Amino acid sequence: MNLFCFSKNTKNFLENTINNTKKFNLDNLKGKFFVKSVYDGDTITILIPIRQHIYNMIDENNIDLDSDNNSNKNIFYNEIKIRLLGIDTPEIKPRKNIPDRENHIKKAKAARDFLSGIILNKIIDIEFKNNDKYGRALAIIYNNNININNLMIEKGFANSYDGKTKDNFI
C-alpha cells in the first residue's frame, strides 16, 4: 500500500492542513487550451481539462495513494477566467459618469471583437504567470507563435499596464 503520512498526531494534522493548504493556482504552467469566450480585450475564459482523483484517508494522518475512488476516468472541463498580463483595454461596462462613455464602450467592443477574431473557439498557447490582486490568473497568450498581449498594444486596442493606475483611453 502506497501511503502519504501527514503528521504524528491529529492536532498537528489539523493545524498543518488548515495553516498550510495552498490555494489552487496555475502559476508558471504552460499549455494549449481552448478559448470558450472573450469578455473584453483583456479578459477571456478558457477550458482546462482535468482528470479528478479522490483518495481515501486511512486515518487522520495518512492517505492511501493507491485508492483512487474515481472509477469514472472521464475528463472534466474547468472554466478559468484569465486576465491578459501587462495590458489594459477599455471596459465594456464603464462607470456611468465616465466622460464620453459611449466612445469608451465603442473602443471596448472593438478591442473585444479584434481579440475574438484571433482566438475565440481556438486552441491557443497560454503561459500562466501568477494572479492579480483580485485572484484572477494572469497570462501571456500566443496564437501561431504571436504574442497576442503585445499585438493588442501594437494595434492600438490596449495600453501597457502594470497592475497599478490605468491610463485613459479617450
Range(s) of the domain holding residue 133: 27-53+75-160
- H or E segment and range at residue 31: strand 30-40
Query: How many whole angstroms separate alpha carbon 147 and alpha carbon 16?
Result: 41
CATH number at residue 99: 2.40.50.90
Average pLDDT by stretches of 10, the chain with 170 residues: 53 64 78 96 94 74 71 81 96 91 95 98 96 89 98 97 66
Global pTM exceeds 0.85: no
**Any domain includes 19:** no
**Any domain includes 58:** no
DSSP 38-81: EEETTEEEEEEEEE----EEEETTEEETT--------EEEEEEE
